[in-house]
Structure formats: C-alpha cells, structure tokens
Structure 1
Amino acid sequence: MALKEENEVLNEIKKEDQYTNHHDFKTEEQSFSCSQTETTSIQERAQKSENISYFNCQDCGKSFTHKGSINRHMKIHTGEKPYSCPQCGKDFHQHGGLKVHMSIHTGERPFTCQQCGKRFKRIVNLDYHMRVHAGKSPFTCHQCGKNFCRKGTLDYHMRVHTERPYTCPHCTKSFSQKGKFEYHIRNHTREKPYICPQCGNGFIQKGHVIDHIRIHTGEKPFTCQQCGNSFRQKGCLNRHMKTHIGEK
C-alpha cells in the first residue's frame, strides 16, 4: 500500500478512536466495549484498503487507483497536450482544462450564487464563494485584517504587503499579482486575447468581454432589491443604488 493511502487510513483510525468514549453494551453472557467492535471495523476497512491495486508513476512516485487516472497524469511528464483551443490554439493536458479555458472566450459562467447572483466558471469557485455568505473566512491577514476563505488566497494577498515580483520590461513598473501584471503588459502590446464569439471584438481584460457579451444576450444579472431595476454591470447597480439613498 502506498504511503499516502496508508497515512489516510491511520488518520481515519485516529479520528474514529475519538468517538469511543467508553460506551459499553451488555448481553446475557458478557459485556462488550464499543471500542472493541469499532476497532475491529476499522481494522477490516484498513485491510480492505491494503487489497486495492495501485498504479504508481515511475517518474514521481505518485499513486493512483485507476489506470485512466495515471494515464492522464503521465501527460504532465511527457508534455503531451492533445486538447487544443480552436480559438487561440492554446494546448492542454486534459479535456477538463480545455473546457474551463473555453469560458474565457465564451464568457460562460454556468454556476450561479442563489444569494447574490454572482456567477462562476467552476463549481469549486462557487463553493468557496458561498463561504462568504456563511461567514466562513478563517484566514486573516495580520497586517491589514482582511479575511479570506482559502489559505491560498491569503498567501496570494500577502504579496501586497511583502513583495512585488512581477516587473514590466517596458516601463519597470512592479506588481504583486500576476493577473494585474499581465493586464498591464497588454496596455503596452495592445494584445486582446478575449474575443467575443458573436461579433469578434477583442478585449484586453476578461471582465470586459463578459460585460460586452451581455449586450448580445440582454442579460442583466445585477438587480436592485428596492425597485427591481436590473443592470448588466455591478458598477451600474452601485451607481443606481445611490439614487435611493440620496447620494450624488
């Protein structure tokens, strides 16, 4: 059994052992401990896990339970990228990666938050977003107090305070985040990688093509809760909201 799976089984045993709180039950012949029966069950599951066949990657040692999974993984080592984007030619190891990438060109965001209407390309991003509504932001920046749902997002944010690793070769301006750096570079090169599939107009930023596509679709996802007016862009909704509170 691979080390990773073995550790997972041991961790499961430790967790389940926490629930063996001296709860005993009796029969006419003898008294049995819950801890005894649960330990037996855990051992049986551990034995079953040991009987699973694993496919090991000869390059990095990573283990898989399905042959198809290791075949997909091996493309990372071989450099094989059989899935190509028909719009920009970018290649991908897996079809799933191409599918996510295509939403850059189409603007498709099929996963919608039922509470605020915000839309996402991937369901995992929607799941993380839902933590905001649930108040689950356990990762806090100790320098500015901002909270984050994911540790990776906090680590990314910390660059604002600690480093600016991305430097523009055209004007030497530095950036803490790769996305902002790439957007800045396009201001020099005038590259417009985000293409509207309906009219062919190109845009420097992904958000711009998403807003533009709504002109074709008529979609207005941002709705005023006070009067029901809807808007294509969140900024337009924010400006509209000021009319209700008397701001200018």
Structure 2
Amino acid sequence: MHTCDQCEKSFTRKHSLIEHTKIHTGEKPYSCDQCEKSFTRKDHLKEHMNVHTGEKPHSCDQCGNSFASKVNLKKHMRLHTGEKPHTCDQCGMSFAQKGYLKVHMTIHTREKPHSCDQCGKSFARKAHLKEHMKIHIGEKPHTCEQCGMSFAQKGALTCHMKVHTGEKPYSCDQCGKSYTDVNTLKSHLRSHSGERLYISFRPKGPPENSYRRKASYVFFVRKEFLHAECLKRTPEKTQRCEGSYVL
C-alpha cells in the first residue's frame, strides 16, 4: 500500500498516490483548451469537457436528471438522501454542498465581496449582484402572467404574486395577524413590544390617483412615524408631526 504522508490516505498503486499528492501541492497540470480551467487529474479534465460538448453521461437512478460529471451527480444525490456533510462551526447549520456553506458563512462574517460599480451597494453572493444590476440597466425580465407587470428581480415578482393569490404566509405568533411579506410582519411585531414606529408618505403616482390604496403610499423609515391624524390627509399635504403613534 502507498500512503500519503500528509493525510494518511492509502492507495494500491503508486501512480494513484502521485496523482493524489497534487491535491496538497496545488499542482494542476491538465488544462482545458476552451476555458483554461485546470485540473489535478486527467480524468477530471475529461469529465469537464462534457460541459463544452453538452454530454451528460451520469444519470440519477431516482429522478432521471443527468449530469456532465460524476462529482455533480454525487452532489445531486444528497437531495434524495438528505445528506448534509458540510457543517457551520459557528451555528451548527448543515449543507449539502460546500458552496452553500461558504455563502452561509458570510452571515457570520458579514462579508459582502461583490460590489456594484454604479452605486457601491455590496452583496454576499454574486447572483444577488447580478439581479441588482438589472435595476440600473432597466431590465425587467420577470413578468406577472396575470396583470403583465414586470420586475427587475425574481423576488419582487414572487412578492407581487401574493397580491393575486391573497397569500399571507407570515403570521404573528401573538395575535394571529398575517402578512404578505416578512418586513411588514417585523414592523407589526414592534407593536407588541411597545416600540414606536413612524411612517411617512411617498406617493408613487400623481396625487389625483385614488387614495383608497393607502398601502401604496406607506413608506417605513426606521423608527419614525407620523401622527395618526396625518393618515387622513392626502399625500401632497402630509407633513411630519412631532408626536408619535404606536402602531
């Protein structure tokens, strides 16, 4: 048996040990001529080439999904087995994939490495930055099939759909009131703790538009609020009050 002196893993063939040691040295001699990605082993490069050819020879025997590499199939199988081998050492949460754990760790480190070059806003995930960029370019690829409204971000469409479905998945465990989004629930919960909230109006359309839709004019600003009677005024006449109203 040939044993690695760094991790004590054993191999029956010396060649396999030599290939294995490249993991520790960081050596990646096998490069893809299409995307320049490098690999420690030749068979890993061969599997990687399936990404470019579109070939997916590895199939899941439970759901039929196919994958370009055996590694990706192995990761996929955890969905069926429920295996979550990657555990956060700070809070104990476990994840099926190492990448998910890496993203999760930004919650603890508050790291936001992906920054918008137009407004400076930072994000923990590259995918979130990509979604955010649609705001600047004006792209709205997510369209509501019921009313035709379009949104830059998928999450905004998901939230909007609750208007049509009437779904209110966020419930107060103290009084039972339900809300369409978590932020509104958070604001409501302060009413039980006695924390004061202040609101101001920010009209999204001409003042002459129907003021019956009060919700579209409400804008929460940290812990500031308007006096109760201000809610009866039209948006263009609403002024900030010195008093407070506990919601």
TM-score under structure 2 normalisation?
0.49
Higher helix share: 1
Ranked by relative contact order (alpha carbons within 8 Å, sequence separation 6 or more), the top structure is: 1
TM-score under structure 1 normalisation?
0.49
